């Protein structure tokens, strides 16, 4: 088990904003990186995806947990790795729920494609050509963004679409709008 430290915004902004490099040949370090990403994701309470730069490794590897609808609720599936993922088709843009392990407690409605076709390699190094639909497309798009230093706060339409979740006096989970720009990023 190798749980790694997750880079947090804005403290580790420089690491999160750095562009990642394509993964080359040598298989053992890549397998180790995938294992570390899976272990780190599993140790997080509510993560459904993780990208290598989030553990300060600037290589184009992400882990996603594509899921399915069960009784109208989306449920995450088992984690899969995508190596050197490339988006070859993206359409059906719309607002959907978003959040990120590098922004603990912060959520929002981002605009992302709901149809995504991705090529690259699977964790055995075999070529893949996969289509993701609905929230799975949102999830995969979010993780691939990380490889280019793009974060979910960049994908919102307006600041009011971001919120924190907190428990009120009645024990209910409520949304608290992020009113102060500076809490996030002076450039947002
Ligand atoms: Ni993220």
Residues 143, 157, 160, 172: which is the catalytic one? 143
- Higher per-residue pLDDT: 43 or 183: 43
> What is the model's pLDDT at position 165?
85
Q: How far is the CA of 170 from the centre of ligand 1 (A)?
A: 31
Of the listed ranges 83-87, 95-99, 148-152, 180-184, the one predicted with least confidence:
180-184
pLDDT band at 187 (very low <50, low <70, confident <90, very high): very low
How many angstroms separate the alpha carbon of residue 125 from the centre of ligand 1?
Answer: 24
Backbone angles phi, psi at 53, to 5 degrees: -60, -20
From CA 155, how far away is CA 76, in angstroms rounded? Answer: 22
Q: What is the pLDDT of residue 179?
A: 67
CA of 102 relative to ligand 1 center, distance in Å: 6
The verdict on whether 143 is a catalytic residue reads yes
Nearest to residue 40, comparing CAs of 71, 13, 7, 16? 7
Q: How far is CA 146 from the centre of its chain?
A: 7
Q: Is the pLDDT higher at 151 or at 1?
A: 151
Output the average pLDDT for the chain. Answer: 92
């Amino acid at each position: 088990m190798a749980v790694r430290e997750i880079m947090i915004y804005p403290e580790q902004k420089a690491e999160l904003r750095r562009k990642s490099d394509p993964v080359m040949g040598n298989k053992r370090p890549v397998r180790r990186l995938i294992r570390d990403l899976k272990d780190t994701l599993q140790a997080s309470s509510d993560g459904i995806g993780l990208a290598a730069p989030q553990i300060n490794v600037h290589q184009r590897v992400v882990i996603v947990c594509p899921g399915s609808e069960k009784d109208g609720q989306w449920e995450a599936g088992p984690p899969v790795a995508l190596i050197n993922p490339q988006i070859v088709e993206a359409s059906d843009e719309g607002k959907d729920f978003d959040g990120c392990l590098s922004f603990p407690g912060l959520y929002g409605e981002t605009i992302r494609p709901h149809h995504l076709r991705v090529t690259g390699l699977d964790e055995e190094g075999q070529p893949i050509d996969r289509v993701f639909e609905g929230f799975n497309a949102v999830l995969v798009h979010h993780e691939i963004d990380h490889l280019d230093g793009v974060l979910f706060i960049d994908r919102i339409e307006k600041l009011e679409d971001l919120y924190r979740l907190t428990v009120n006096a009645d024990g209910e989970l409520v949304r608290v709008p992020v009113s102060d720009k500076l809490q996030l990023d002076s450039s947002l």
